[in-house]
Chains A and B, each alone.
Chain A
Amino acid sequence: MSERLDVKKTYKLVVKGAFPRSESGRSYEVRSASGDFFANAAQASRKDLREAVLAARGAQATWWKATAYNRGQVLYRWAEMAESRSSELAEHVQLAEGLKKREAQASVARAIDRLVWYAGWTDKVTQVLGGANPVAGPFFNFSLPVPSGVIGVVAPTRSSLEGFVDVVAAPMCAGNAVVALASETRPTPAIILAECSVTSDLPGGVLNVLTGHLAELAPHLASHEDVDGLDLTGAGELGDELARLGAASIKRVYRERGDGEENPLRRLRTFVETTTVWHTIGQ
């Protein structure tokens, strides 16, 4: 009996709900934790990045216009789709991070559970972060959390799937659209998870994932005028410079503090704006 030859997959970008190669035509080698070649990933260019920001800006309005209930169902659907590909995800996490099979499976399980956790937040954020304010006058005054807009994410390498879920799902559940740079050396778990999002009724462009060289792409993301916030969790030593670039347009910036346990809601709060409405009361 002859052994069947595998059909290998090409790993592409995820932009506006589609899977383009880089417009530059470039790719780079992705190696496993043990150093073996296992895939070529698209090496995104500055132009790909600009397209992704454009797609995110357009999709954000659609995403925020949807009901919170609907956004929750879409994110939950994303978790369902990820669960159905959990063995594939585990293989990639195992290869990328050099884990034992059981450890990789546990990591994927935690990542999917985390996605379910975020799915439940979409229709809780308003009540938990907003409220009515008892002003001294004839006004009905209320504060509503609204999304910052388009969030640029530098995803961590340390945790190629679990970490990716946190950096993209936190802003998304609050109504933001995301342009994420996947881990440069461990991009495939993020790409597979993003593929799952495309089959989850997520409006194209709400989550865009680029692969490529961090040092080439991240400065353009951080200085892009139409990006409202930055999550620099995976930026490493580039972080300070990226934060400085973001200051030019007063971006909201999330960085891990490294001084103990992170408050799980701080990331979400960073990319939420509080809008306070005063309405007169009268006859």
Chain B
Amino acid sequence: MTDDALRSDLGGLDYDPAPESAALARLRPSYGLFVDGEFTAPEAHQQFASINPATEETLATVAQASSLDVDAAVASARRAYDKVWRKTSGAERAKYLYRIARLIQERARELAVVETLDNGKPIRETRDIDVPLAAAYFFYYAGWADKLDYAGFGPNPAPVGVAGQIIPWNFPLLMAAWKLAPALAAGNTCVLKPAETTPLSALALAEILQQAGLPEGVVNIVTGDGDVGAALVAHPGVDKIAFTGSTEVGRLIQERLAGRSTRLTLELGGKGANIVFDDAPIDEVIEGIIDGIFFNQGHVCCAGSRLLVQESVADEVLRRLLRRVDQLRVGDPMDKNTDVGAINSAAQLARITELTDAGEREGAVRYQAACALPSKGYWFAPTVFADVAQSHRIAREEIFGPVLSVLTFRTPEEAVAKANNSNYGLACGVWSEKGSRTLWVAQRLRAGVIWANTYNKFDPSSPFGGVRESGFGREGGRHGLEAYLNV
């Protein structure tokens, strides 16, 4: 399918393997739940395997929490809230969070290995992005804990109470940090539900919370499938639900909470447009497109999965993009040279396969990187679709995989109209050397995050979240406190 003439002459050169050591993970064979400051006995629960998606080998077995376990976790969080945490001064809460940030930094290499093994994402990303950012979120929100009076929500803002937090599998540790850090800083206690396929880094974080001496019950972690999340949402003892995941599940949660006083914030799906104008510096654009869609195998809610290229440069951008896609190193996530790792689960691989098949059936032209894929594990070669129409499923539905849909436009107005032609509104990219045009476009895009001449950047001081069906509420920055304050 790919035109051989487009391949780089450098294709013949290769790197030697540079694998990170899996032994650094220090995983236990089996885990209980983290409730009331202690791990419960693994044998007290039904266990399920958390596998390495790159090898399909079991890494550890993890507890499937029952609704009684959820009750116990919520009760523990309530006790901790009433008896300890609400009486702990902001300055003291801050110091716990600073400790947690430091402990994450100290155990950074171990956490990166755990995350890469459990998730399938490249060690380069967990080492350089997931783990350092997780520490940074705790460090940032630590400083807010004793400064809430100055956060712009009026004097002495009260916490909400017990927060139920449900996080996805694409950035397991980082999402735990996004949820826990602002909640704890604001004075809430938490019940965290990690994703079914990626529970291990949250359980490693539980050990860190113990090492930090965080009072028992302030954070509880319940693992298991979607039923655990549903039990948490249904629980009358929970004052706030924070959910990150699909729009489909977010909608259900919003419906279930409709008649209740439980607070809700949702960070849902996206179909981000990455808009390239003809004056943009093309080398940077190509790297930006790659970062936008192939970072974390495209398992990113804010991924730049719709490339909108100005017609006058579309041929050149596509040609150079395909050449760059062929340079991506796909394979062992533990190899320090790997760019694109494993798909997180068989179910996700099936969804990506189904949608890309639909893309071909509907008439888009498919290019796939000609890379060798390992025989075991879940893999999907980086894929680019050209000649995509706005009505195609691959232009409308979130694929959540390494698949880019390329569309074109002629005028800035058309670019904005196409970018906004989506029920989602999480993130967009704009590439242009002309600042006034970039801001003109940014003003008109319906999205919560806009990256100008960059993509997929995150920072604890920068609010993140969507508009429309990408959800509501913000995580990060001063804005991120609002979700956890009674204001």
| A241 to B255 Cα, complex, angstroms | 9
What residue in chain B is nearest A278 (Cβ atoms)?
A: B451
Please determine whether A269 and B482 come into contact, CB atoms closer than 8 angstroms: yes
Please judge, given known A-B contacts A133-B461, A135-B461, A279-B438, whether A250 and B247 are in contact too, CB under 8 Å: yes
Please determine whether B259 and A243 come into contact, CB atoms closer than 8 angstroms: yes
B136 interface residue (CB < 8 Å to A)? yes
Stretch at the interface among B38-46, B72-80, B452-460: B452-460
Please determine whether A135 and B250 come into contact, CB atoms closer than 8 angstroms: no
What residue in chain B is nearest A258 (Cβ atoms)?
A: B261
Please determine whether A135 and B457 come into contact, CB atoms closer than 8 angstroms: yes
Shortest A125–chain B CB gap in Å is 12
Please determine whether A228 and B462 come into contact, CB atoms closer than 8 angstroms: no
**Residue numbers in A under 8 Å from B449 (CB-CB):** 275-278
Please determine whether A137 and B254 come into contact, CB atoms closer than 8 angstroms: no
Please determine whether B457 and A278 come into contact, CB atoms closer than 8 angstroms: yes
Within 8 A of A (CB), among B429-487: 435, 438-439, 442, 445, 447-454, 457, 459, 461-465, 467-472, 474, 477-479, 482, 487
Please judge, given known A-B contacts A133-B462, A273-B448, A279-B452, whether A247 and B254 are in contact too, CB under 8 Å: yes
Please determine whether A263 and B154 come into contact, CB atoms closer than 8 angstroms: yes
| A137 to B250 Cα, complex, angstroms | 32
How extensive is the interface on chain B, given as a class?
Answer: 35 or more
Q: Which listed residue (A128, A141, A248, A253) contacts B459, Cβ 8 A?
A: A141
What residue in chain A is nearest B153 (Cβ atoms)?
A: A263
**Residue numbers in A under 8 Å from B301 (CB-CB):** none
Q: Which listed residue (A131, A148, A250, A253) contacts B251, Cβ 8 A?
A: A250
Shortest B213–chain A CB gap in Å is 28
Please determine whether B461 and A280 come into contact, CB atoms closer than 8 angstroms: no
Per-position contact with B for A127-150: 1 when CB-CB < 8 Å, else 0? Answer: 011010111110101010000100
Please determine whether A280 and B487 come into contact, CB atoms closer than 8 angstroms: no
Please judge, given known A-B contacts A266-B487, A275-B447, whether A250 and B254 are in contact too, CB under 8 Å: yes
Please determine whether A250 and B266 come into contact, CB atoms closer than 8 angstroms: yes
Please determine whether B448 and A276 come into contact, CB atoms closer than 8 angstroms: yes
Please determine whether B452 and A134 come into contact, CB atoms closer than 8 angstroms: no
**Residue numbers in A under 8 Å from B438 (CB-CB):** 279
**Residue numbers in A under 8 Å from B487 (CB-CB):** 263, 266
Within 8 A of B (CB), among A100-145: 128-129, 131, 133-137, 139, 141, 143
B258 interface residue (CB < 8 Å to A)? yes
Please determine whether B477 and A275 come into contact, CB atoms closer than 8 angstroms: no
**Residue numbers in A under 8 Å from B470 (CB-CB):** 250
A159 interface residue (CB < 8 Å to B)? no
Please judge, given known A-B contacts A136-B136, A263-B154, A280-B454, whether A250 and B250 are in contact too, CB under 8 Å: yes
Please determine whether A277 and B450 come into contact, CB atoms closer than 8 angstroms: yes
What residue in chain B is nearest A228 (Cβ atoms)?
A: B468
**Residue numbers in B under 8 Å from A228 (CB-CB):** 468
A274 interface residue (CB < 8 Å to B)? yes
**Residue numbers in A under 8 Å from B471 (CB-CB):** 250
**Residue numbers in A under 8 Å from B152 (CB-CB):** 128-129
**Residue numbers in B under 8 Å from A9 (CB-CB):** none
Please determine whether B251 and A248 come into contact, CB atoms closer than 8 angstroms: yes
Please judge, given known A-B contacts A141-B459, A269-B482, A278-B451, whether A250 and B261 are in contact too, CB under 8 Å: no
Q: Which listed residue (B259, B423, B439, B447) contacts A244, Cβ 8 A?
A: B259
**Residue numbers in B under 8 Å from A279 (CB-CB):** 435, 438, 452-453
| A218 to B479 Cα, complex, angstroms | 31
**Residue numbers in B under 8 Å from A249 (CB-CB):** 423, 468-469
**Residue numbers in A under 8 Å from B478 (CB-CB):** 131
Please determine whether B472 and A250 come into contact, CB atoms closer than 8 angstroms: yes
B268 interface residue (CB < 8 Å to A)? yes
Per-position contact with B for A82-114: 1 when CB-CB < 8 Å, else 0? Answer: 000000000000000000000000000000000
Per-position contact with B for A210-243: 1 when CB-CB < 8 Å, else 0? Answer: 0000000000000000001000000000001101
A252 interface residue (CB < 8 Å to B)? yes
Please determine whether B448 and A275 come into contact, CB atoms closer than 8 angstroms: yes
Q: Which listed residue (B261, B453, B467) contacts A280, Cβ 8 A?
A: B453
Shortest B405–chain A CB gap in Å is 23
Please determine whether B258 and A240 come into contact, CB atoms closer than 8 angstroms: yes
Please determine whether B255 and A244 come into contact, CB atoms closer than 8 angstroms: yes
| A244 to B463 Cα, complex, angstroms | 27
| A248 to B258 Cα, complex, angstroms | 11
| A148 to B448 Cα, complex, angstroms | 11
Please determine whether B255 and A247 come into contact, CB atoms closer than 8 angstroms: yes
Shortest A239–chain B CB gap in Å is 8
| A160 to B434 Cα, complex, angstroms | 50
| A131 to B479 Cα, complex, angstroms | 10
Please determine whether A276 and B450 come into contact, CB atoms closer than 8 angstroms: yes
The 8 listed contacts between A and B (C-beta, < 8 Å) are A243-B258, A246-B258, A249-B468, A275-B448, A275-B467, A278-B451, A279-B438, A279-B452
